[in-house]
Amino acid sequence: MELRQLEQFVAVAELSSFTRAAQRLHVVQSGVSASIQGLERELGARLFERGARGVRLTAAGNALLPAARNTLDAARTAREVVTQLTSGITGEVTLGTLASIDVINLPALLGQLRQAHPGIKVRLRTSASGSTGLTEELTRGDLDAALVANDGSAIAGMRLTRLLTVPIRCLLRSDHALADRSAIALADLAAEQFIDFPVGFGNRLIVDSAFARLGLKRSVSVEVTDVTDAAAYVRHGLGVSLVPGWPATLSGTDVRSIVIHQPDLPWVLSVGVSTARTSSAAAQALLDLIPAYTRSDIVTNQH
Amino acid sequence: MELRQLEQFVAVAELSSFTRAAQRLHVVQSGVSASIQGLERELGARLFERGARGVRLTAAGNALLPAARNTLDAARTAREVVTQLTSGITGEVTLGTLASIDVINLPALLGQLRQAHPGIKVRLRTSASGSTGLTEELTRGDLDAALVANDGSAIAGMRLTRLLTVPIRCLLRSDHALADRSAIALADLAAEQFIDFPVGFGNRLIVDSAFARLGLKRSVSVEVTDVTDAAAYVRHGLGVSLVPGWPATLSGTDVRSIVIHQPDLPWVLSVGVSTARTSSAAAQALLDLIPAYTRSDIVTNQH
DNA sequence: TGGCACCCATCACCAAAGCCGATAATCAAC
DNA sequence: GTTGATTATCGGCTTTGGTGATGGGTGCCA
């Protein structure tokens, strides 16, 4: 049994395909095929059910998968403990992030990380499909960590660390009938046209499910990927928007940001890692810095 | 980095020698040398200080050693979880044992183990140098587990599980001046000739250190490796003996077994595994059975 | 039902690497 | 200095991982 075989096995298991695993590993498919066969012969058990439409893990394969990951993690750690002594922490980290998160000062964070550990290379990746897409990429193994927003509930396969909780507020044009309220109930907005994020984003998920829980339907007429864009559309009369609210960002404009009550709608930003993997030293170094570079002045759930 | 390299690295580290590591691994020395060099080149750090009298770990080597063991353990576990599904637990276990332990019914235990897990092969090894020798063999990696006897204190590098505590008693010929006492103090025996186990055995260690603590010297004139032998020498007038006492074994003979007080001398039998390694599934299966096959009727420390 | 697309297995070939055996180089102890 | 023990180096052999092409099987769709 070789580390190379375990690596290939894990790749095939994650991608459910010899062909795609070979692509990811930069070898030809026949090599992966032979390698897995060797592993199966050595272990005396078939690891995959081969089908014309990809492969599925057998019971034996399912048993091996976590153990194989453990082994690869241990091997990576073994490498790291030595290289750390000579050249500090090195390695490559891929962080999944949301399109426009100004609550985390990523440039400053990465500057600090570079200064502390020059050997770490960071790659940022944003997903067009929001937190849902990031979650998938993370569990598929394409990301080392991801920033995700949701209502604060757990996500299967991810270990989440909460960074920030911001109440969702309603953006209204100042000439709107509700614009002078001090607080708005969700039910008051059921008939409005909404500007919101696309399906898959945390914000959309929170608001959609809140309406669903109340038994209400709503209409999203414009989709944006940025709170600032949402505010701009509100300003131009395209509708109202429910987004995590930082009152300061709107001061002096003709858009009002009003607290939502009934129910509270907390928008929770977390950083997540896969429960199936252990983080590399490089990833851990990045994760350790995130809380310090998260804006804490608006960590509040109050109205 | 290959598992083979880690295996060779651990062997060299444990034996402090390329040559002996090569012997253990059944490869030639030049192969180990090249392999370790490759590992050092890949990690960018020297792992051993080479000397004419063997090798010593560098700081990098010391850092790598536990991580390498973890990796190898994880790989072994990966193998086991799969083979366990098809052929049950398999593997080879080497148990270090004392020459004559009748308090553990090893034949019955191994019979049960064979019945439960036919794929496990057990090798028993006794050490001529008693518990001390077993401890060394265990930490050197030659044993998976060892039965050791001592006064119940901890042993560096070993995780001990207590099986049995038996008070040490004094064997005397029935015509001895102290033979009719109901209890004897250690100081009463300082002038006697002793029959005892060789240095390195748990019993010898306990009694020697007890006399040393009292500031007394004693003379061991006959060395045996079996309690029955000790009783035989006592019967023939060669001296007295302090051994873990089971009154029943002497009934109907002309040798008396008398309790020692001042101080209590507990003889503690434990089974130990190395703290540096995790046990294989096969070793664990054996360990799990030991308590059930340990005589519990004499688990007592009372006089 | 036949063709097509997709996927895994097999094969021949090549380059790299592991292993062996022998030998050189180094160092400590006597 | 010599001896003994230890690690490093070298040439040659064998194994094996990788490649690229090909074959065979399966589901999908016209």
Per the CB < 8 A criterion, the answer to whether B199 and B277 are in contact is no
From the Cβ of B17, is strand D under 7 Å away? yes
B chain contacts of residue A35, beta-carbon cutoff 8 Å: none
Any CB–CB contact under 8 A between A156 and chain B?
no
From the Cβ of A280, is strand D under 7 Å away? no
pLDDT over threshold 70, residue B222: yes
Contacts of A70 (CB under 8 A, 6+ apart): B74, B77, B78
User: What stretches of chain B adopt beta strand conformation (E)?
Assistant: 48-51, 54-57, 91-97, 120-126, 145-150, 158-173, 183-185, 193-196, 219-223, 240-244, 255-261, 266-274
pLDDT per residue as tens digits for the range B266-291: 999 999 999 888 899 999 999 999 99
Q: How far apart are CA B70 and CA B75, in angstroms?
A: 9
Residue range A155-160: mean pLDDT, rounded: 91
Question: Can you give the length of chain A in residues?
Answer: 303
pLDDT over threshold 60, residue A233: yes
Q: How far apart are CA A233 and CA A195, in angstroms?
A: 7
CA of A53 to C1' of C2 (A): 21
A chain contacts of residue B3, beta-carbon cutoff 8 Å: 1-3, 75
- Give phi and psi for A102, each to the nearest 5: -90, 0
User: What stretches of chain A adopt beta strand conformation (E)?
Assistant: 48-51, 54-57, 91-97, 120-126, 145-150, 158-173, 183-185, 193-196, 219-223, 240-244, 255-261, 266-274
Structure tokens at B187: 């100081």
pLDDT over threshold 50, residue B20: yes
Highest mean pLDDT among A69-78, A140-149, B53-62, B132-141: A69-78
Any CB–CB contact under 8 A between B71 and chain A?
yes
Cβ neighbours, 10 Å, residue A185:
14
User: From B85, which residue of chain A is nearest by alpha-carbon distance?
Assistant: A60
The nucleotide whose C1' lies nearest the CA of A31 is: D18
Q: Are A44 and B78 within 8 A, CB to CB? A: no
Any CB–CB contact under 8 A between B100 and chain A?
no
pLDDT over threshold 80, residue B45: yes
Name the residues in A47-106 having a C-beta closer than 7 Å to nucleic acid strand D.
51-53
Q: What's the pLDDT score for residue A296? A: 67
Name the residue with higher pLDDT: A163 or A245.
Answer: A163
Structure tokens at B251: 């009934």
CA of B53 to C1' of C27 (A): 8
Q: What's the pLDDT score for residue B301? A: 39
